[in-house]
Amino acid sequence: MARQIHIDSYECDMSRSTISRGSRAAAFVGFCYSIFLIICLIEISQAIDMLTPPGAITDGMTLVSARNVFEFGFFSPGSSRNRYLGIWYFQMSPQTIVWVANGNNPLNDSSGVVSIAKDGNFILQDQTERIVWSTGAENISSNGTFLQLLDSGNLVLRNDKGGNAGDYIWQSFDHFSNTWLTGMELGKDPSSGLFRRMTSWTSADDPAPGQYSCSVNPRGPPLEFVLWEEDSLQYRSGPWNGVGFSGLNFEPNNVFDLKLVVNAEETYYEYVPETKLVTTRSVLNYSGIMQRYVWNATSLKWLLVGNLPNDPCDNYGHCGANSICTISDPTICSCLTGFIPKSQQGWEIHDWTGGCVRKHPLNCSKGEGFLELKGVKVPDHWLIWINTGMSLKECQAECLKNCSCTAYANSNVSGQGIGCLIWHGDLIDVRQLVRPSAQNLYIR
């Protein structure tokens, strides 16, 4: 709704005035013109959050979400002179970018134009009218289609005004850049074929997709959060165990909760702020570190509250096979009970990549038992068997049926614990957790 300014009636006492009638008229006209300019400036300053045909956005123009939370337009990161189309927090200093459209295809001047094409897609064109970037939606109607920036930071293409997410033709929340905002779902949606994952920038000056990415592991179940450097696994959270990811060392906080959603239609991971007053975001930086920030409204600064990986034991397979990483130990790495270093010489110079091997081969006919490791991140699950309904005792019995079974654990540790995970072969990426945990591992 347009703001209005009401001007009260103005009366002059003619007998006391020494100003001529003509001068008074000129003064009144000037006064009215000033009010008109003020009204125009107020109207111009109001946030515009939508782009409708045949309108366009050129460099220097922006959309601002209804409550002045996010802004959409052109920007240049760091020392770069290239122009990119993106979203950032409104009036935060320094500028905090949360999404980039044309990271792979920057403009080298300020001639970019954003509009709704005849086919209903949102497009970016350069000075030659070449399409630099497009939403690329198919089989849509251009009738009534418009672009809107929401207060969540989600940029949506739609042809209705009802506000239902299911009615969006396209949304930026389905296409992550290097930032994860509240409401963004990290993971896979089998119904649409979407696999939502964060991707780092190439550098602070270049938002082209870099070599690091993270998401929910697509090779689950069990499900876990993973970080990759190209095709090389760098970090895994450990599988979801009904309470959290088994390997996360975050202390309980009053900022946000972790939430994993698994159903027939989709599998995704999101975080939910404790209150609407909390502004928080995660960034996968160009060095491959996932960083969690919280906005401090008093100091007007972003506070770093967590990193992943956080210490050497978070690095995937840091101690090699059949070992355990304990960050509080002077040597960090040690072989699991019953195992010895594969290379004693390497172990002595803290080269643990060779890992450990069994001191004595298994002889299942003699009925070996199991060693309980309390409060650990369970091993990687390349070779794993899972049953969500078994008790821990039944899980042990299942492991004993096969001499290649090397370890077992509950898949869900909530309550009294239930479900069964069974490993075969080497045990990779086990770590002792710093904080108390109900996740135990039983090694043959």
Confidence at residue 44, expressed as pLDDT on a 0 to 100 scale: 38
pLDDT score, position 104: 95
Interatomic CA distance for residues 61 and 64, integer angstroms:
10
Confidence at residue 139, expressed as pLDDT on a 0 to 100 scale = 77
Q: Cα(13)–Cα(321) distance, rounded to whole angstroms?
A: 97
pLDDT at 301 (0 to 100): 94
Please give the pLDDT value at position 408: 95
pLDDT of residue 201: 98
> Does position 89 have pLDDT exceeding 90, yes or no?
yes
246-253: list long-range contacts, CB under 8 Å, 24+ apart: 246/376, 246/377, 246/378, 246/437, 246/439, 247/314, 247/377, 247/378, 247/431, 247/433, 249/310, 249/314, 249/433, 249/434, 249/435, 250/306, 250/435, 251/435, 253/305
- Give the integer Cα–Cα distance in Å for 414 and 252: 16
Q: Residue 376: beta bridge partners?
A: 432
pLDDT digits (tens, 9 = 90+) for 281-302: 999 999 999 999 999 989 999 9
Q: pLDDT tens for residues 223-282?
A: 888 999 999 999 999 988 888 888 886 655 666 666 676 666 666 767 776 667 788 899
pLDDT at site 32: 46
Residue 19 scores a pLDDT above 60: no
Among 100, 91, 46, which residue's Cα sits nearest to residue 71? 91
Band (pLDDT 50/70/90 cuts) for residue 1 is: very low
Return the bridge partners of 84, or none. Answer: 75
Residue 31: pLDDT over 50: no
Q: So what's the pLDDT on residue 186?
A: 85
pLDDT in tens, 401-425: 988 899 999 999 988 899 999 999 9
What does the mean pLDDT of the chain come to? 84
Token duo for residue 397? 């019995």
